[in-house]
Copies of this chain bind each other. A is one copy, B any other.
Amino acid sequence: MIQTFLQPAEADAAPSLDTVETPALVLDVAKLDRNVARLRAHLDALGVAFRPHVKSAKSIDVAWRLFAKGVGPITVSTLAEADYFAAAGFTDITYAVGLSPDKIHRTRELVARGIDLSVLIDSLDQARALVEAARDGGVMPGVLIEIDCDGHRGGVLPDDPALVAIAGTLKDGGVDLRGVLTHAGESYAARGGVGLPEAAEQERAAAVLAAEKLRGAGHALPVVSVGSTPTAHFAKNLDGVTEVRAGVFMFFDLVMHGIGVCELDDIALSVVATVIGHRPEKGWILTDAGWMAMSRDRGTQRHPVDQGYGLVCDIDGKPFADLIIGDASQEHGIIKARPGSGATLPDLPLGTRVRILPNHACATGAQHDAYHVIVTGSRDVTAVWPRMRGW
């Protein structure tokens, strides 16, 4: 059984945020469920399928909560994730990072195990590598062509002749072209929600234009996949899109708060830490959550509100006004008033426990081996859910 509930012996010790070894990763499952329900309702209303990105979770137990019943389609960022989720019964998987030729054999092994796998390419070289592999007559994954909708990362522009050339190479070589996929990565540059409806429309339009070009060249193209957490929430019309992907939406974080996608109260992930020292003359309170526990992610560094290495809350998750982890070394996090805020430090004696909201849930989660699961308003740890890692 993958879900790890606390055993009676441990339960006798009344596991709670007051007693877990710190630093520890905390997941408020009530907020997780609320965040999932919110985006699912929005996408249902828009009439598109949902393929959540489990790179943020890296946990079977979290992935179960993303679907009303059973397992549904998922997106992954590594083949290790594909292996892990496949072993847990997820059968419809899109590997949404550009395919390296030397990983083709692993994608074929997944297909041979019964996984309906799609891979991502954006070049003729990748198409040729797939065609070359397919010559032995064995099973092959389906293919999506990555479309560049905003210049953020990889992909082919929708009107680039290379698009049709890649599709033709796949078709001639007997490799199954399924569709196009794009990711509005530039939406992370938004602040306070400004520009996000437009970014969502730009993402939709690029994917749909690319799909039309390919259909015009004789390809069936059943899949038109878009997605980023900001655009998924702000899309008003997804005509022509068949599925939406999003990952960090399930937890949210301070970056998403700064972008304008969530309230602080929606953030489901935090790190519980313990006060280990004071430097009152410097305005510092030292905790045992350094960058090893928070990650080095400084995603709010250029936001109007810089949250340092995280926003400090009391043990029950209520934020202290303008109290942040202002500096971090490997196992030390220094609580400071936000520069310019004039906030005064609360009285947090040695041994006090606090909770810290992360800049970037994906990065902070990756520093930990397990989620300590609670529900809003309680300190009881009701389960410990393991996380996977690696490639």
CB within 8 Å of B: which residues of A?
21-24, 55, 77-78, 97-103, 122-123, 125-126, 129, 151, 153-154, 185, 274-279, 282, 286, 288, 291-293, 295-298, 329-332, 334, 349-351, 360, 362-363, 366-369, 389-391
Contacts of A126 in B (CB 8 A): 277, 350
Pick the contact of A129 from B292, B332, B350 — CB < 8 Å? B350
The prevalent SS among residues of A at the interface is loop
Number of copies: 2
State in angstroms the CA–CA spacing of A63 and B391 once bound together: 25
Q: Is B22's CB under 8 angstroms from A331's CB?
A: no
Chain B nearest CB from A273 CB (Å) reads 9
Which residues of B sit under 8 angstroms from A351, Cβ to Cβ?
Answer: 100-102, 129
What's the minimum C-beta distance from A75 to chain B, rounded to whole angstroms?
Answer: 12
Q: Which of B97, B286, B288 is in CB contact (< 8 Å) with A332? A: B97
4 nearest A-B residue pairs (beta carbon):
A296-B296, A98-B276, A125-B350, A296-B297
Q: Is the CB of B153 within 8 A of A334?
A: yes
Smallest Cβ-Cβ distance to A353: which chain B residue: B102
Give Cα A278 to B126, complex, Å: 11
The answer to whether B286 touches A153, judged by C-beta atoms less than 8 angstroms apart, is yes
Q: A23-B391, A296-B296 are in contact. Are A332 and B154 (CB under 8 A)?
A: yes
**Distance in angstroms between the alpha carbons of A296 and B125 in the assembled complex:** 30
B residues near A21, Cβ cutoff 8 Å: 103, 391
